[in-house]
């Protein structure tokens, strides 16, 4: 009886390890304009308002500061795309944690 259970469990494990037969699709390369804007946004300095709010002793405040910095970089990325005339798809505003 134990041997049957062991064999059944082994077969279940082997069937679960089966690969996905769907072909993998490579992501298309970024255009030079988007790559340049992404780099510009990464290099964007922390704004003085965000830097003033940073409190290393408070983890909650650090999370909030990181969120503000991420939003600032996203804004810089969008502004760069708009300035270069690259249209970015629509969508909804990202969720902001409070």
Any domain includes 30 = no
Any domain includes 23 = no
Domain that holds residue 59: 47-84
Classify the C-alpha dihedral 87-93-94-98 as positive or negative. positive
Any domain includes 4 = no
Any domain includes 9 = no
Any domain includes 94 = no
Q: By mean pLDDT, which of 7-21, 55-69, 75-89 is the weakest?
A: 7-21
Any domain includes 72 = yes
Average pLDDT over residues 5-22: 68
More confident residue, 13 or 55: 55
Any domain includes 77 = yes
Q: What is the pTM of this model?
A: 0.57
Residue 93 above 80 pLDDT?
no
Any domain includes 69 = yes
* pLDDT at res. 75: 87
Residue 13 above 80 pLDDT?
no
* pLDDT at res. 36: 92
Structure tokens of 20?
């996905």
Q: Which segments of the chain does DSSP mark as H helices, in order?
A: 2-16, 32-42, 48-53, 59-84
Using CA atoms, how far residue 21 sits from 18, 24, 27, 29, in Å, is: 9, 9, 18, 24
Q: Total structural domains in the chain?
A: 1
> pLDDT tens digits, residue range 24-79?
777 777 888 889 998 888 887 777 777 777 788 888 888 888 888 888 888 888 88
Measured CA to CA, the distance from residue 83 to residue 75 in angstroms comes to 12
């Amino acid at each position: 009886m134990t041997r049957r259970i062991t064999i059944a469990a082994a077969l279940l494990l082997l069937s679960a390890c089966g690969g996905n037969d769907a072909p993998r699709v490579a992501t298309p390369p970024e255009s030079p304009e988007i790559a340049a804007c992404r780099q510009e946004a990464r290099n964007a300095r922390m704004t003085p308002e965000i830097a003033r709010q940073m409190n290393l002793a408070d983890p909650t405040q650090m999370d909030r500061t990181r969120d503000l910095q991420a939003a600032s970089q996203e804004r810089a990325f969008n502004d760069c795309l708009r300035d270069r005339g690259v249209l970015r798809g629509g969508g909804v505003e990202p969720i902001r944690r409070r």
